[in-house]
Amino acid sequence: MTGYASIRIAIGDDHEAFRIGLKTMIGKSSGIEIVADAANGRDLLSLVLETKPDVVLVDIIMPVMDGVQFTRQLAIQSPGTNAIALSMFNDDHLIIDILNAGAKGYLIKNATKQEILEAITAAYYNQTYYCRSTSMKLARLIANNLFDPHHKIEKETFSQKEIEIIQFICLEFTNKQIGDKLCLSSRTVEGYRQKIADKTNSKTTAGIVIYAIRNGIYKI
């Protein structure tokens, strides 16, 4: 995936069937090497310190040591390893807790293989990743939280048209709805969205919304 070396992955989840399924699914991907897996946070931390993976996929809710505690310890003991949180449910407060602890992003467990690989790649490059199913409520909570999930991205300059499109994105308008409002084709709006995503270093719509709120482009 990086074009140079495999991304070394560790997985922590107490549901054995899910953990094995995840290993099978992403382990077949080019550029991925799974170096460790564990059913609880304590064992996972021990294995991470031993194997030094690049990225850890960690369940928020685990026995012995949960994902939030694990991520706090990871930041202290292995700062070169980035965590992506896994959640069965869209539990806003637990997700905020683990992002506060230092996770680079999160995924709902029914995320597609492509989205999981995108999240892994983002974390590998020290970028943030928010699940595509992130609710607008959660995006606003993240944006208004005290922690800074972005990698010190300099504030970009946007055209007036880009600002208008960002504001419509924050209002959850589709490309067609935005196009109807601004007399643009859906394809043109999609082009603007990609340019905005590149400027804000956002992998998903949630990332654009969070950037817009934090930088005063959209006010709730």
pLDDT tens, position by position, 13-36: 999 999 999 999 998 888 999 999
* Assigned architecture for domain 7-133: 3-Layer(aba) Sandwich (3.40)
Identify the pLDDT of residue 122.
93
Pick the CATH number of 140-220 from 1.10.10.10, 2.130.10.10, 3.40.50.1820, 3.40.50.2300: 1.10.10.10
Identify the pLDDT of residue 90.
61
Q: Is 82 exposed, middle or buried (0-12, 13-18, 19+ CB in 10 A)?
A: buried
Identify the pLDDT of residue 219.
82
pTM for the full predicted model? 0.79
Tens digits of per-residue pLDDT, 172-189?
A: 899 999 999 999 999 999
